[in-house]
Amino acid sequence: MAAYILRRLIATIPVMIVVALFVFFLLHLTPGDPAAVIAGDEATPADIEAVRRKLGLDRPIWEQFALYVWNLLRGDLGTSIFSNLPVLTLVKQRLEPSVVLAVSTLAVAVALAIPMGVLAAARARTAVDRIVMGFSVLGFAVPVFLVGYLLIYVFAIHLRWLPVQGYRPLSEGIVGTLRSIALPSLALGMTYMALIARITRASMLEVLSEDYIRTARAKGVSRPSILLRHALKNAAVPIVTVIGIGFALLISGVVITETVFNIPGLGRLTVDAILKRDYPIIQGLIILFAGAKVLVNLLVDISYTFFDPRIRQ
């Protein structure tokens, strides 16, 4: 078990090295002069030179690379071109809303989608099944921002149940936070739910056709017990895998959802960085998000051992 976890842990190292290399060479291999593009259309040669110096592009490439790697190892993600603040400081200021949004979306999506998938499989080829499948097809097509604005329009503007936009920090009370995060989580979770529901149904259908399910039925095991204890646990590996894959979707979605709902998180930091072409911030966020994704995949790998002990070997 420990050996398995260690192996998985070591496997994440090359991935992160590639990510770091990729981000570094992106800046150096893009055609044209990135300093000129970042400085903008109205920049004077002196401005461009200043940006070049800030990005370190005026030094020899091996020196830049050594400095970049050294800084990363020290946990320094670089410095913003415009505010001159360390990227890590900017990230820390904006971290809470994004983490709360991601976690609550994950919770909402898993809590709604797995029962939907189980139900659809248990009632395969009935109206319930068609509704769930219809929802999962739609969930893939409807963009986050459309769902987001529709939810705001119905629940915030029309019914006035929830706040229109904005975020209440946890320090001001969890109820306010949950109210401000409810609609964003639902909007962001739509695609995620579609994905999980679809895989849950498929995986359950496969398990339900196994012999040991028939045996359990013959023994007189109750239906809920068959579905949950015998089938769902054995159907879990693909479901957990897809929860991990979907986390990537979630990260991309966080950026857009925060813009729709005016949430001052990492997504807003990204959008501000785009407007100012503040490349070091985007570079830092890529490494951070990639790290989060790798971590989630690691957790997924570890969770396999719980659902399927054979994997431990």
Count of CB atoms within 10 A of residue 191's CB? 23
Compute the distance between CA of residue 226 and CA of residue 208 in angstroms, rounded to an integer.
9
Look up residue 36 and give its two tokens. 């000129």
Binding of residue 8 to other proteins (CB under 8 A):
no
CB of 83 to other proteins, least distance (A): 16
**Pair 122, 247: CB distance under 8 Å:** no
Binding of residue 208 to other proteins (CB under 8 A):
no
Compute the distance between CA of residue 149 and CA of residue 242 in angstroms, rounded to an integer.
27
Nearer to other proteins, 100 or 266 (CB): 266
* Span from 46-54, 112-120, 132-140, 174-182 in contact with other proteins (CB under 8 A): 132-140
User: Residues 6 or more apart from 97 whose CB is under 8 A from it?
Assistant: 167, 169, 258, 263, 264, 265
Binding of residue 127 to other proteins (CB under 8 A):
no
Count of CB atoms within 10 A of residue 183's CB? 25
Q: Which residues within the stretch 245-304 sit at the binding site for other proteins (CB under 8 A)?
A: 248, 251-252, 255-256, 259-260, 270-271, 273-275, 277, 279, 282-283, 285-286, 289-290, 293-294
Look up residue 60 and give its two tokens. 């020899």
> If binding means CB under 8 A, how many residues of this protein chain bind other proteins?
57
The residues of the shown chain that bind other proteins, judged by CB under 8 A, are: 14-19, 21-23, 26-27, 30-32, 34, 37-38, 137-138, 140-146, 149, 152-153, 157, 164, 198, 202, 205-206, 248, 251-252, 255-256, 259-260, 270-271, 273-275, 277, 279, 282-283, 285-286, 289-290, 293-294
